[in-house]
Amino acid sequence: MTAPWLARKDWAERRVRDERYKLAGCMVRGGLLLFVGSCGFAWVFLKDGGADNLPVLLFPTFVALLVGAALYGRRHQEKFGTPILELESVPVVPGGMLAGYVRSTADLAPPEGFVIRLRCLHKRETGSGKNKRTDTTTLWEQEMTLPAATERPDGLALPVAFALPHDARETDERNSANKVVWELSVKATLPGVDFSAVFDIPVFEPGGRRDG
């Protein structure tokens, strides 16, 4: 494809969405049903086998942890909505600038400011089955802290700007088991639920250079 940054609708529209918590509500409901069911099975096994069947408690414990994570995600979604990164231009070019605004409908005023980090990551899957894992190597990163956001009529907008090195690797997701991605993360410490957003960044050379 001559313009791979147009393959994703959000990249093409220059509005990258963080949808990690979009399905949190469904996960909570499904997780609670699974937890109740797993507790019932565990009770039957413990009743019949006593202490010999104690390992069956590991499954409902694991489900409970997943439900807890989903509950946190739902609270994040309810408080902040779906954060959006508005890019000034796409693609982001090696040696050029990543510039835009992170937007949220919530009124954010973190006392310690926003920690913004841009990273280039090489993710490689190794092994298979139970031994399958993903090794992540940071190829490049830069971080900055902003004390406040810019107020707009429709919410808050956080300006972001990073200069990429000329030898920056391009985004390459042609092989899902061996890929290079760019991620922009934004974090802020707040009462209750902390703000967190992660966006995939399209870094490409318009002339068609593809690493590897």
Note whether 57 and 111 are same-domain residues: no
DSSP symbols for the chain: ---GGGSSHHHHTTEEE--TTTTHHHHHHHHHHHHHHHHHHHHHHHHHHGGGGGGGGHHHHHHHHHHHHHHHHHHHHHHH---EEEESSSSBPTTSEEEEEEEESS----TT-EEEEEEEEEEEEES-GGG-EEEEEEEEEEEEEES--EEETTEEEEEEEEEPPTTPPPPB-SSTTEEEEEEEEEEE--SSS-EEEEEEE-B--TT-----
Q: What is the mean pLDDT of residues 26-54?
A: 50
The pLDDT value given to residue 62: 56
* pLDDT exceeds cutoff 90 at 167: yes
When divided into structural domains, the chain yields a total of 2
Q: Which of 119-123, 145-149, 180-184 has the lowest mean pLDDT?
A: 145-149
Tell me, letter by letter, the H, E, C secondary structure of 31-88.
HHHHHHHHHHHHHHHHHHHHHHHHHHHHHHHHHHHHHHHHHHHHHHHHHHCCCEEEEC
Query: Percent of the chain beyond pLDDT 90?
Result: 44
Query: Would residue 211 count as lying in a domain?
Result: no
- Across 65-74, average pLDDT: 57
Average confidence (pLDDT) over 17-28 = 58
Across the range 121-141, mean pLDDT stands at 91
Domain of residue 35, residue span:
24-79
Question: Do 121 and 184 lie in a common domain?
Answer: yes
Block residue for tokens 């997701």: 173
Note whether 151 and 166 are same-domain residues.
yes
Q: Is the pLDDT of residue 48 over 70?
A: no
Same domain, residue pair 120 and 195: yes
pTM value?
Answer: 0.73
- Give me the pLDDT at residue 28, please: 43
What average pLDDT does this structure show over 29-44?
51
Mean pLDDT of 129-138: 88
